[in-house]
Amino acid sequence: MISAIRHLKGSIPRQCMRSAAFNVNRRWMSAVNLSDADAVEKFRMLNSKSVLYFTATWCPPCKAIAPVYEEISTRYPHIAFGKVDVDENSDVALDFEVNAVPTFVLFDGEKAIEKFSGADSGKLEHHVMELEGR
């Protein structure tokens, strides 16, 4: 699957790839709900800088940080922000070794550069600012 996506990525004009729901260049865009492992992989491949937010509907700290994450996602238009529900996508959570929610994983290209758990808005903002400056 990965090689097929990489092959397609090279053969589809860039403007077509960017017109997908994973487009990071629209200033109004907030975090994208990612429904499965394929969506997460495509999201990471199409965006040079990205953040994944692992959450659960039953998690009080997740509910507390969610509006902060949404707000941050609108202030950094050159970073893509995705959300993964761990109950609906347990395989993705396992792939990223998520043991607690909320968990944030920041990527520069396909490389994970930071991972942390907890609803710490200051820490989230700090790491997103660092990612933007890379």
16 is catalytic: no
Q: Rg for the chain (alpha carbons), in Å?
A: 14
Decide: helix, strand or coil at residue 4: helix
Give me the pLDDT at residue 29, please. 64
Q: Distance (Å, rounded) from C-alpha 60 to C-alpha 47? A: 30
Written as six digits, the tokens of 13 are 């004009």
- Selected catalytic residue, list 59, 72, 80, 84: 59
Ordered mean pLDDT values, 10 residues apiece, the chain (134 residues): 40 38 52 94 94 98 97 94 97 96 96 97 98 92
Domains of the chain: which residue ranges?
2-133
Classify domain 2-133 by CATH number. Answer: 3.40.30.10
Running DSSP on this structure, what letter comes out for residue 110? T
- Selected catalytic residue, list 39, 62, 79, 92: 62
Q: Distance (Å, rounded) from C-alpha 128 to C-alpha 75? A: 10
Q: Distance (Å, rounded) from C-alpha 79 to C-alpha 76? A: 6
Q: Distance (Å, rounded) from C-alpha 97 to C-alpha 95? A: 6
Give me the pLDDT at residue 37, please. 94
Q: Distance (Å, rounded) from C-alpha 10 to C-alpha 45? A: 12
59 is catalytic: yes
Written as six digits, the tokens of 101 are 């929610």
